[in-house]
Amino acid sequence: MTTTETSSAPPSLVTGLAFIAGTGLTVMVTTAAVGAIQGENASAETLGLFFALGVVLLIGGVGAWLAVERPFAHFDDINVPAPDEHHHDDNHQPADTALAAAPHHELV
């Protein structure tokens, strides 16, 4: 079975960008949790700074991933039939030929 690569980016780069975006999301959720737990005793400046850092990491990671991967350029349109190389069996026949070649059994 052959696979077609849609990305020329090294997998380690894509994984690193996912970690950056995931770290940003984790920082934002943790900051919100700390703010909710501490309540009125929480430092709004510190929490705001950490939340902003998380937003920057999330947007930066997703933006860099979009620039590297370009998923909009490799969009698979389901309305366009797949080329013949997507069929993995060597004896692929068109539907009308396959039906004509199939043995017919009558019910007794």
pLDDT in the model for residue 8: 76
Segments making up each domain of the chain, as ranges: 9-75
Half-sphere exposure for 98 (CA within 13 Å, toward CB): 5
> Could you tell me the pLDDT band of residue 102, with boundaries at 50, 70 and 90?
low
23-79 pLDDT, tens per residue?
A: 999 999 999 999 999 988 989 999 999 999 999 999 999 999 999 988 878 677 778
Q: Which two tokens stand for residue 80?
A: 């366009």
How far from the centroid of its chain's Cα atoms is residue 29's Cα? 21
For residues 43 and 108, give the distance between their C-alpha atoms in angstroms, rounded to a whole number.
83
pLDDT in the model for residue 60: 96
Kindly tell me if the per-residue pLDDT of 16 is higher than 60. yes
pLDDT in the model for residue 80: 77
The pTM is what? 0.62
pLDDT in the model for residue 11: 87
CB 68, CB 45: distance < 8 Å: no
Kindly tell me if the per-residue pLDDT of 93 is higher than 80. no
